[in-house]
Amino acid sequence: MNNLIAFSLMALMMSMLPGTDTVLIMKNTLMHGAKAGRYTILGMATGLTFWTIVVVLGLSVVISQSVFLFNTIKYLGAAYLFYLGIRAFFTKSTLVLEDVQEEDSQGSIKKLSYNHSKESYLQGVFSNILNPKTILVYITFMPQFIDLNGNTNQQLITLGLILTAIAVGWFLIVVYLLDHVKQWLKKPKFQKAFQKSTGLMLIGFGVKTVV
């Protein structure tokens, strides 16, 4: 397989570039805690694994050659980003640490945490599966590192796993840092401003996806 080091460096650079995943992970971590951020990452990894399987099965070629299928994915992804952005922008309530502690004393924090974790995971899954940028990465970027004389499927699986592992590793660092920084950012005014700004960014990514 050609130049795994170069592929890994490029994958790291792509992961570090701010995008939908970054905004989503930041939003869920700051609003619902590190656990929600990690579940978002798990959902993102599930989405990347899905596309790895698709590529190995050869369906990526079919999708890339079908304008209808590709546009369907693109517009569904844009609609989902719009939904997340509008929801974040217009949400009135913010998560305050004192409120969570009060809920904990009443014995209902586990249910609250489960709901946020489940929702964060699903957001990570759908934002990747419905993101046409993801399949474009697999179609245009990964083949450049494939040795046609070797086992193509095995190489695609390896590259897909490397890409997923690097993205997960980077975002776990982001969640760790955010979880410590939020001690200074837990004021309701900041949370409200952050919600609206991330909502606008997600809507912007939705527009960018359509365009």
- In this prediction, residues 1-20 reach a mean pLDDT of 78
Q: To the nearest whole number, what is the mean pLDDT of the chain?
A: 76
Looking at residue 55, what is its pLDDT? 81
109 pLDDT more than 60: no
- pLDDT for the residue numbered 113: 62
Question: How many beta carbons lie within 10 A of that of residue 56, not counting itself?
Answer: 17
Per-residue confidence (pLDDT) for residue 115, from 0 to 100: 79
pLDDT of residue 69: 76
Residue 185 pLDDT more than 70?
no
Q: 96 pLDDT exceeds 50?
A: no
The per-residue pLDDT for 44 is: 94
Look at residue 101 and tell me whether its pLDDT is greater than 70.
no
pLDDT tier at 186, thresholds 50, 70, 90:
low
153 vs 62, which has greater pLDDT? 153
